[in-house]
Amino acid sequence: MTNSQRYLALDVFRGITIASMITVNNPGSWAHIYAPLRHSEWHGCTPTDLVFPFFLFIVGVSMFFSFSKYNSTLNKESLIKIGKRTLLIFAIGLFLNSFPQWSADYSKLRILGVLQRIALAYGIGSLVVLAVPRKYLLYTAGSILLLYWGILYFFGGADPYSLTGNVTIAVDGAILGITHLYKGFGIPFDPEGLLSTIPAIGTVILGYLAGGLIRQTEKSDVPLKLMLFGALGVAAGLVWSLLLPINKPLWTSSYVLYTAGLASVMLGILIWIIDIKGFTKWTSFFVVFGMNPLFIFALAGLWAKSFSRFIKITEADGTIISGNSWTYKHLFLSWAGELNGSLLFALSHIVVFWLICLFLYKKKIFIKV
């Protein structure tokens, strides 16, 4: 049975994810963050490590519904849409990396990033789901994950899943140039690199399959099927992790199954609460975030860089600090302490950007990125 029902839960899930992304990206101090709001140092998975794959999973779910207007086939119209959107999202990510453009050192500019991975995973994932018959997509996703595992294992060093021994550094460095990789791990290694984008495409495909499950299942049965689908993914990811550790920076295949499974379970629970049981009064806060997700995420990134780079304040002792540091120190740290102050600083960003989203929502302005 085909189910044409629009699910409010999907908009809420998208909004929760964007709000979470803004929160974890904008602490008052990177030295003072509660453990669940930190990424794993290497192997493992914290709540923060779930945010990005959850968003890519939602991208996949949404693709199933949006591509129905093209009869879910790869044609000139769908190809143009996919190409334009992929290039736009990638360009916005590159713009944020190089901002402010007039003072950027382009010889050391990081080429990839979160938005760039979203663009590539969406673009390539879209071509795959439209070109491959849906009954073969699960096998396709499995083949992608097995292929990536093989590349990591056979072409890596003595410890192929370690920071210094993984093969993604060599591949990304050869294609992009070592100077254009992320340096936050102490060495040139990009957690949103080209090679590790291959399994991220698998995350999108699994989301697309979940969208198909939703569309072709009786509404009352959707939550249970999504949770069962998700439970299988979680179990498979945990079993696979005995051989291939769950690791976000490498976006390992076990990480894909584990996080996609949790995303499916989460979506099933939200559909049951919101769309089946009708508990919707609390959802409006997240719905407004979910209506302009990539725009508000990019705006938050632009604001953070601008506030830190352009606003300089002189302290009483003559020290010059950024607007970010001054706000955290004087408006939050001074009375809430280091950890709570850092958290409240991040949550203040949520309030500000929610107000912007609310304005856009009430004006029915939906910026498609």
DSSP structural state of residue 328: I
CB count, 10 Å around CB of 118?
Answer: 26
- Reported as a pLDDT band with limits 50, 70 and 90, residue 103 is confident
Q: Does pLDDT of 1 surpass 70?
A: no
- In terms of pTM, does the model score above 0.85? yes
Measured CA to CA, the distance from residue 312 to residue 325 in angstroms comes to 9
**pLDDT tens, position by position, 35-85:** 999 999 999 999 999 999 999 999 999 999 999 887 778 888 889 999 999
**pLDDT tens, position by position, 50-64:** 999 999 999 999 999
Q: What is the mean pLDDT of residues 190-199?
A: 97
Give residue limits of the domains in the chain. 12-38+280-369, 43-278
- pLDDT in the model for residue 3: 64
What residue ranges in the chain does DSSP mark as E strands?
Answer: 312-314, 320-322
Structure tokens at 359: 């304005």
Structure tokens at 227: 């949770």
- pLDDT in the model for residue 316: 85
The amino acid sitting at 307 is: F
Q: Does pLDDT of 149 surpass 70?
A: yes
Return the H-helix or E-strand segment holding 139: helix 137-155
Instruction: Decide: 253 and 259 in contact? Cβ < 8 Å.
Output: no
End-to-end Cα distance, the chain: 32
